[in-house]
Chain A
C-alpha cells in the first residue's frame, strides 16, 4: 500500500472524502486485509482519545484565578505613564551647568595650591641687620619691589626725647 493510499484511507475515516471516493475506499477496504488492519489501528487511536479531556479542570479556585485575570485587565487598562518632555528637566539643566563649572573650579583650585606651594618654598623677602647699627633692620620684598627699614630707636640726627620707633620707606 503506498503512502497516498494510506492517506486516502485516513481521509475516509475522517469523513473528508466525497461520496464517490468514500464508496471506492469502502470497497477497497472490504477486499484488502492490510488496508483493513491499518483502518482498525487508526480507529483504536481515535477511540482511545475520545473523552480524554472529560473531567479536566483548572487546578486553581475560581476566586484566585479570577483575581489574577482582573488584576491583569486593570493593569492593561491603566493609562500609560506620560512620556518625558523632549527638553531637559530643571535638574538636567542644572547638572549640565554644574559639571563644567565644577571642572573650572577644580582647575583654579589646583592652580592656587601649586602657586602657594611654590611661593612658600622661597622667602618672600630678605631681612638684614646692619652690624654697625644693631638698632636698624632692613626688609626687602623682591616680589613687591619694596624695601622697609625698621629703626628701633631715635636716630642721632633726630630730636632728642623722641624715642618711639618710626618706619621710613
Chain B
C-alpha cells in the first residue's frame, strides 16, 4: 500500500489535469481522479507494463470522464447547435482567422482564454482535441477511445480547432 501511495503522489497531478481538461470542473475532476486511483488499485494485477504506469492511469481517467460526460449528456437536452456540429457543416462556413489571436499574451492570460474557449465546446469536440493535443493520440486511437469512426474524429477535431480559433479571435477583439 505504501508503494501505491507513492505512485499516487507521483502521478496525481497528471491524472487530475486530464480530468480537468475533459470535465472543465474542479470538483468533478477531483472526484473522478479519486475514483480512478481506487480503480487503479483494484486493477493493479492487470497492469502488464506494456505502457508506462502514468499512461495506464491516464487511460483509466479518460474512460471514467467519458462515461461521466455521456451520462451528463443523456440528462440534458441536446441543443440545435450541438446537432449541427455533429453533422459537420458549420465549420466550413467559418472565416479563416488570419492573425494569431494568442500572439503577445502572457501565459496566464492565454491559459484563462483557452480555458473559457474550451468550456464552450461540446464534450465530444473538446475530448477529441484533448486526446490529440495533450495525449498525442493518433486518429485511430481516438476513434477507439471515443467509440466512433476515424472520419468522425477528423470532423470533430476540425470543428474544435476552427471554433477555438474563432472564440480566441473574439476574445482578442473584445480587448
Number of A-B contacts (CB under 8 A): 104
Contact of A16 among B129, B138, B168 (CB under 8 A): B138
Q: Contact between A65 and B165 (Cβ–Cβ < 8 Å)?
A: no
Q: Kindly state the separation between the CA atoms of A41 and B167 in the bound complex, as whole angstroms.
A: 12
Q: Does A130 contact B (CB under 8 A)?
A: no
CA distance A141 to B110 in the complex (A): 111
User: What is the chain A residue whose CB lies nearest that of B5?
Assistant: A66
Name the interface size band of chain B.
35 or more
Q: Which of A37, A58, A76 has the most CB of B within 10 A?
A: A58
Q: How far is the CA of A14 from the CA of B96 in the complex (A)?
A: 19
Q: In terms of DSSP, what is the predominant structure of the interface of chain A?
A: helix
Chain B residues, Cβ within 8 Å of A10? 154, 157-158, 161
User: What residues of chain B lie closer than 8 Å to A6, measured between beta carbons?
Assistant: 92, 158
Cβ of B41 to closest chain A Cβ, rounded Å: 5
Binary CB contact string for chain A from 44 to 67 against chain B (1 if under 8 A, 0 otherwise): 111111111100111110100110
**Residue in A40, A50, A52 whose Cβ sees the most chain B Cβ within 10 Å:** A52
Instruction: Give the contact stretch, choosing among B49-57, B63-71, B97-105.
Output: B97-105
- Write the B18-57 contact mask toward A (1 if CB under 8 angstroms, else 0): 1011000010001001110110011000000000000000
Let me know if B37 and A49 touch, CB within 8 A. Answer: no
Question: What A residues does B12 contact at CB under 8 A?
Answer: 58, 62, 65
- 28 pairs, CB–CB < 8 Å, chain A vs chain B: A7-B154, A10-B161, A34-B96, A41-B96, A41-B97, A41-B98, A41-B165, A42-B165, A44-B102, A45-B164, A45-B165, A48-B102, A49-B129, A49-B133, A49-B134, A52-B21, A53-B134, A56-B16, A56-B17, A57-B16, A57-B17, A58-B12, A58-B13, A66-B5, A69-B38, A70-B1, A70-B5, A72-B34
